[in-house]
Amino acid sequence: MNSRFVHLCTLLLCTALASACRSVTPNRSPFGERFPDVQATALDGRVLSLPDELAGAPAVLLVGYVMDTQFDLDRWLVGLMQLGSPVKRVEVPTIDGLVPGLIAGSIDDGMRAGIPSEDWAAVATVYQSDAARIVAFTGDERPRNGRVLLIDREGVVRWFHDRGFSPSKLAELDRLARELASDGTQPSR
C-alpha cells in the first residue's frame, strides 16, 4: 500500500469518528440575519474573513458539513454557472470539532487533491469554533444537504435553502441574485 492511501484512510477514519461523537443542532432558517463573522482558509492558502471578504457585492455561500454534501453542492454550482448567475460563489466546507481542527492541513490537502487548482480560491474551509458558529446559524440536521445562502452586500442572508437541490429553487435563487446584483435593493421573496 502506498503511504498516500494509508494517509487518506487514516484521515477519513478520524473524521468519521469525530463526526459520530458530535451532537446535532436543529436546522433553522437564518433569513434576514447577518452571516456570522468567521475565519476561513481558501485552498489557495489565503485567509478570509467571511462575510466581510465579500462586502460590497452579493454572493452565494454553499456550506457543506460532511463529505457526502459535495454531490448536492456540485449540482447548485453547475446550475448557477449554466445560468450565468452574476454573483460570486464560495464553497464553505464547515468542519466542526477538535479532531478535524487538529488535522486541518491534511483535510485541506485531501480536498486540493480532488479539486483543480484554478478553483481553489473559491473553496474556503472553516474549522473549530468558527465552524460551530456556522452550525449554530443553520443547523446540521440532514448534513448531506448543502446549505445554500444568498447574502447581500452587508452579509445579510436574503435567501436560504437546506433541503437538497431543486431546479425550481435554483431558478428562484438566480432571480433574486440578479435583483441584488443589478440594483442593490432588497429582493422580493
132: CATH: 3.40.30.10
Domain that holds residue 100: 3-23+30-183
**Mean of the pLDDT values across residues 177-183?**
93
Residue 160 lies in a domain: yes
This prediction's pTM: 0.83
Residue 82 lies in a domain: yes
Question: Could you tell me if 47 and 39 are in contact, meaning their C-beta atoms sit under 8 angstroms apart?
Answer: yes
- 23 CA to centre of own chain: 20
* Bridge partners of residue 85, in order along the sequence: none
Residue 148 lies in a domain: yes
What is the maximum alpha-carbon separation in the chain? 57
Long-range contacts of 80-84 (CB under 8 A, 24+ apart): 80/170, 80/173, 80/174, 83/170, 83/171, 83/174
Angstrom distance (rounded) from CA 132 to CA 24:
11
- Name the 3-class secondary structure at 74: helix
Region label for 74, one of left (φ > 0), alpha (ψ between -120 and 50) or beta (otherwise): alpha
Provide the pLDDT for residue 1: 52
Residue 188 lies in a domain: no
Residue 189 lies in a domain: no
Question: Could you tell me if 14 and 99 are in contact, meaning their C-beta atoms sit under 8 angstroms apart?
Answer: yes
Number of structural domains (the chain) is 1
Q: Is the pLDDT of residue 2 over 60?
A: no
Provide the pLDDT for residue 185: 55
Residue 145 lies in a domain: yes
Q: Read off the pLDDT band of 43 (50, 70, 90).
A: very high
Residue 170 lies in a domain: yes
Residue 65 lies in a domain: yes
